[in-house]
Structure 1
């Protein structure tokens, strides 16, 4: 059984998010899954143009998170929220 490396308990959600950065021409839409106080799993069409650090706005969260990519796959990003 694999060991759990997450710092905070995760909550399965399905929320709309928007990724923005000075390195992006325009904001990129995504779906937010597995949200915790320390990070989230993001699903999007492609991750190639997404920088390793960016801002994430989550619908209904009332704030913007500074994120660092910890895991990257073709259509998925695992991110940690900066404190």
Structure 2
């Protein structure tokens, strides 16, 4: 299989939060790159199309938008 992504992805297991209008939803970052990430989340219905991803461990607040959704995962691109 040929890799066609712009940036290499790194597998991780980092806790994070989806912040939208003060509502924070817990999630887990499963892979991340310079351009986006795959998030594991069990309350996917509450996730808006764009939000801020907060990664407390790294002190990051990353604006992003959803590019794909599956049963318990979403893919986001960083804005």
TM-score by length of 1: 0.85
**Which one has a larger percent strand, Structure 1 or Structure 2?**
2
Structure 2 unpaired stretches of 5+: none
Hey, what's the Cα distance between the residues in 1 that align with 2:4 and 2:47? 24
Aligned residues: 79
CA RMSD of aligned residues (A): 1.4
**Which one has a larger percent helix, Structure 1 or Structure 2?**
2
Structure 1 unpaired stretches of 5+: none
Shift of 1:10: 0.5
User: 1:15-44 deviations in whole A, cap 9, x for unaligned?
Assistant: 00000112xx62000000111111100001
TM-score by length of 2: 0.89
| Mapped contact 1:65–1:81 kept (Cα < 8 A) | yes
